[in-house]
């Protein structure tokens, strides 16, 4: 099943809406929670989600994964 451009955009907007809603439910004292030693903490996961989607969309639009852009976005999220 192929999505139209409009359906894809609507789906991504819905995912962002859900993410914003869930992120608003995180208490400040839970930011350092880590399910296990090898998993991201809550704050690390939220930071990752701020650049993961946009970087992938950028790569899709550009036709290739841009490692330099990904690295810059990752470093920017850490600051």
Residues 19-73 have pLDDT tens digits of 999 999 999 999 999 999 999 999 999 999 988 888 888 888 888 988 998 899 9
Predicted pLDDT of residue 55: 87
**pTM to 2 decimal places:** 0.76
Helix (H, G, I), strand (E, B) or coil at 6: helix
Helix (H, G, I), strand (E, B) or coil at 54: helix
Tokens of 10: 């609507």
């Amino acid at each position: 099943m192929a999505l139209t451009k409009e359906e894809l955009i609507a789906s991504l907007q819905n995912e962002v809406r859900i993410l914003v809603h869930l992120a608003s439910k995180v208490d400040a004292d839970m930011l350092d929670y880590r399910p296990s030693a090898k998993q991201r903490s809550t704050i690390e996961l939220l930071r990752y989600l701020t650049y993961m989607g946009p970087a992938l969309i950028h790569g899709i639009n550009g036709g290739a994964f841009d490692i330099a852009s990904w690295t810059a976005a990752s470093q920017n999220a850490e600051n």
